[in-house]
Structure formats: structure tokens, C-alpha cells
Amino acid sequence: MQPIVRTESLCRNFGAVVAADNITVAINPGEVVGVIGANGAGKTTFVNMVTGYLQPSAGKIYFRELDITKLKPRQVMRIGICRSFQIAQLFPELSVLDNLLIAVSSSEGTWPNFLKPLKSPARIAAAERVLADYAITSFGDTIVATLPQGVRKLVDIAMAMVTEPAVLLLDEPTSGVSVEEKFAMLDTIMAGVGGWRDGAVRRARHRDRRALCQQGAGILRRPDHRRRRSRDGAERSRRSQVRGWIADSPAVGAAMIGLQQVTVAIKRTDILNNVSMAIGSGRMAGLIGRNGAGKTTLMRSIMGLLPLRKGSIVLNDIDLSGVPPHRRTHHGIGFMPEDRRLIPDLTVAENVLLPAWAAKLADTDAQLAWTYALMPEVQQFADRKASLLSGGQQKLVALARSLMIGRRLLLLDEPFEGVAPALAQRLIEVIAVLKGEGATVLISESDYTYSRDLVDQVFVIERGVVTAR
């Protein structure tokens, strides 16, 4: 049988760092293939190379017998290879149906304009078929920004499937959803491709061991030179630097955040309902709730990214309700979004420095040095573009960026979701250092797996209502 996709000695280097080394695989039509590896092992790099988002340093990629090594992403898509993204790439202010219609139009080699209406009967029919295949028909008219993370992931996959590809590559399709939802989501994905014959699905997951893997185990492994060992001396040095930073910083104060009867609506739908909670100075609090419960909305409200319909948010004696989002960083609030929100064409160092530049910090260089001392792995890829990082590496960069400005309060939205256990443990080490030195932190999680031993107080959120445990 002729492979539908094959690679020959595929390599990708980032300077001296080897991200992909001599990958040779063949995928036959109709096969379901799994790629298993830790964060940073090269899974996303491999998917990016096959789909044209990243040029290999060496090697070849073939679709059937066509050499597609140097094709651009839109060309790869139009010959029949589509992908989903680890972080769903959607139009947040459009409806689910409109997102799918744009995908259909793009696959046709056209773009919506006044002469070719986006909502033609044929396109709507194609989009509605895929919505039904993935059991998300009821969300067709819903604005994407209001969707829970699991549904967004399904919409991202549906956008790939609506183009009727021959090959579908899924990069971390269940990252960002709770453990309870993962296998139900996998069932939905496989049901959606169940009648699809001339294709292969490449799933990139590092923890879903029940995946349908017929070949490919051991294709990707983490190069030994990239393994990092923690040393007691280095850890003591980092703790000392953290202590000095907290003690000496003029921005540090008796940090305490309080929400009083906060209600937030998105598109006239209440997402938070009369939320009242308070976190004391130097306390670490957990916000626990399933996907769609309102955790991210609460974090974004504190940052001013969503307006309050009623209620107030106070940091120490400062009412944040009247402070615009771009000014809240000046009050020492750092935010690590669930979806990282890195600027792909900027380097890691530039992404980390952005909030410091925006807030015009006087000690930017010293703060960057402290951040790198606490997270030396971030400094190792400081000159690399953010778009070329793995999902786990992006999590580390997002945390480092929040540390640049979060001198009074750190908001960490699902910091452990979608990362390998080893990397989650590394994040815990960094957060534990901050906890030991009196930082005030709010951590959201869907299943309370990693933050249990870190937090001093726990809030449970369900359908926009928060209760203290």
C-alpha cells in the first residue's frame, strides 16, 4: 500500500538546539497514528513541518508521491492536509457557524467579499454537516469567545474537517480540558472521522495512553542534552533572589484582592453571578471548577479585559473598576492566560519583556535577570520566536512574562493544563518558591490535581457562582 504521508530523515534545529532529529515515518490511508512525547520532545515541531508552518533544516516530506517540503501552509491545506492547533485558532467575536464558513471559503481558494457571499447554501450545508458530526450543532449561533475550552477545541477540529481533508493532524486535541472530559471528547473526535476513509489521523498527545496508536511509538524522544537537573545550591540561590526582590521592590505592598457581588455578562449571558471573595496578603488561593464554569472569565475580569455588569474589584484600597486594562499592570498584577497569548513573531525575550515595557519599569534589566535566575530554561530559548516553541515551553514563557510585572498579585489561569507531568512539576517548583516568599497568587484548576499542596484557601466555582471550601 502506498503511504499517504511519509517523511525521510526530517530534522529541525534552532541554533544549537535539536528539536527534531532524523524523523522517518510512513502513514497509510485510513490509519490512526499516535505520536507520544513529553513537552518539548518535538511533537508540535513535527506537525508544523508537515503542514508548512515550519521549514525543515533537512529531510523531505511527501504527500503520496508529491514533494511538499517547501510548500506554504495554504498550499498544504489545499492539496488535502489539514490540522488543528494545540491552542485553538478561532475568530473569537464570530459565531461557530461563521468560523466554519470562513474555513470552507478559504479551502476553495477564495475569500469572502461582497461579490461572493460567505453564507451560500452549499457552504452552510457543509458547515452544518460537520457541526452535526461533532455534536456541536447547538453551538452554531454561539459567539466563540463565550465557549468553554473543550467546545473550542472541537470547533477548531471541525474547521479542519469542513475542508474535507485527506489527512488530518491533531496537535494535542484534548489539552486544556478536564480529565473527566478527555475520553468523551476523544470518542466525539473519532465518531466525527468514523466515516472518513481516505485519510490518516495523527494525534499528538503525551498522556492519553488509551489513544488508538497503531504505529509510531518512540518516534520522538527528548534529546539528553535538553534534560535539566535541579540542584540544591541553585535552588537556594533562586530563593535568595526572590526574597531580595520581594523585600526591596518599591512596588510591593500588603497585597489583597477582593471581589464584591461581581456580575459579568458576555453577549447578554451572565457568566459570573454575584461573586464575592477575598484573598489575603501573601496567601495562595485555588479557584476550582470544570471547564465553562467561569474561571477564565473571573481572571479576565480582574485584569479589566471584561467589563463588570455590577459589583466592584479592589486591590488593597484601590478600586480597579475604574482602572483601564492597560493601567492595571502598573498596580503590580501579573496574568498568565490559559491560552498563553504570546505574540508568535516576537522572540521569547521580547514576549517576556512586553509588560515591563508597557508599565515602564525602572528596573527592567534587574527584573529580567531575576526571572531568568528563577526559570533558567526560559533564558535558554530567549532568542527563539514564540511560534517555534512547544506548548509546554509556551506555558513557561507565559509564567515568566507574568512574573515580570506581578509584584502584588499573580493570576495563573490553568497553569498545569495540557503539559506533561514533569513540566507540571517544574511549574509547581517555581510557584512554591513564590509561595515561600509571600507572594499573593490565585491559581485556577479544573480538577485540583496539582495545586492541592500549594494553596492556603480554596474557592469552588460552578455556573458562575463562587463558594469558599
Alpha helices (H) in 195-279, listed in sequence order: 232-248
Highest mean pLDDT among 161-170, 179-188, 252-261: 161-170
Q: For 16-44, b where at least 16 C-beta lie within 10 A, e where not — what string?
A: eebbbbebebbbebebbbbbbbbbbbbbb
Give the residue among 5, 16, 13, 120 at the shortest CA–CA distance from 62.
5
172 pLDDT band, cuts 50/70/90, is confident
Higher pLDDT, 250 or 12: 12
Return the sign of the alpha-carbon dihedral for residues 406, 409, 410, 413: negative
Note the CATH architecture for domain 5-225.
3-Layer(aba) Sandwich (3.40)
pTM above 0.85, yes or no: no
Three-state DSSP at 130 gives helix
Of 38-42, 170-174, 371-375, 455-459, the one with minimum mean pLDDT is 38-42
Report phi then psi at 193, rounded to 5. -105, 5
Highest mean pLDDT among 117-121, 245-249, 465-469: 465-469
Arithmetic mean of pLDDT, 58-74: 92
CA angle 203, 207, 213 (to 5 degrees): 40
**The cell 503525551 sits on which residue?**
206
Give the residue among 432, 452, 429 at the shortest CA–CA distance from 441.
432
In the predicted model, is pLDDT for residue 256 greater than 70?
Answer: yes
| Topology match between the domains 5-225 and 228-468 | yes
The alpha carbon of 320 is separated from its chain's Cα centroid by a whole number of angstroms, namely: 27
- Kindly give, in sequence order, each residue whose CB lies less than 8 Å from that of residue 55, ignoring residues fewer than 6 positions away: 49, 69, 70
- Please report, rounded to a whole number, the percentage of residues in the chain having pLDDT higher than 90: 16
Give the residue among 214, 122, 204 at the shortest CA–CA distance from 168.
204
What nine digits make up the cell of 315? 486591590
Domain ranges of the chain: 5-225, 228-468
Return the sign of the alpha-carbon dihedral for residues 58, 16, 394, 450: positive
Torsion angle defined by CA atoms of residues 272, 274, 280 and 283, in that order, rounded to the nearest 10 degrees: -30
**Separation in Å, CA 171 to CA 84, 90, 156, 179, 363:** 6, 15, 11, 17, 39
- pLDDT for the residue 62: 94
Q: What is the DSSP letter of 447?
A: S
Distance of alpha carbon 373 from alpha carbon 191, whole angstroms: 47
What nine digits make up the cell of 18? 535539536
pLDDT for 206-220, tens place per residue? 433 333 333 333 334
Sheet with strand 58-63: strands edge to edge: 17-27, 5-14, 58-63, 66-67
State whether CATH 3.40.50.20 applies to domain 228-468.
Answer: no
Report phi then psi at 97, rounded to 5. -60, -45
- Kindly give, in sequence order, each residue whose CB lies less than 8 Å from that of residue 101, ignoring residues fewer than 6 positions away: 112, 118, 119, 123, 124, 127
What nine digits make up the cell of 192? 466525527
pLDDT for 262-321, tens place per residue? 999 887 788 899 999 988 888 889 999 888 888 989 999 998 988 898 999 998 888 888
Distance in Å from the first CA to the final CA of the chain: 59
What average pLDDT does the structure give for the chain? 79
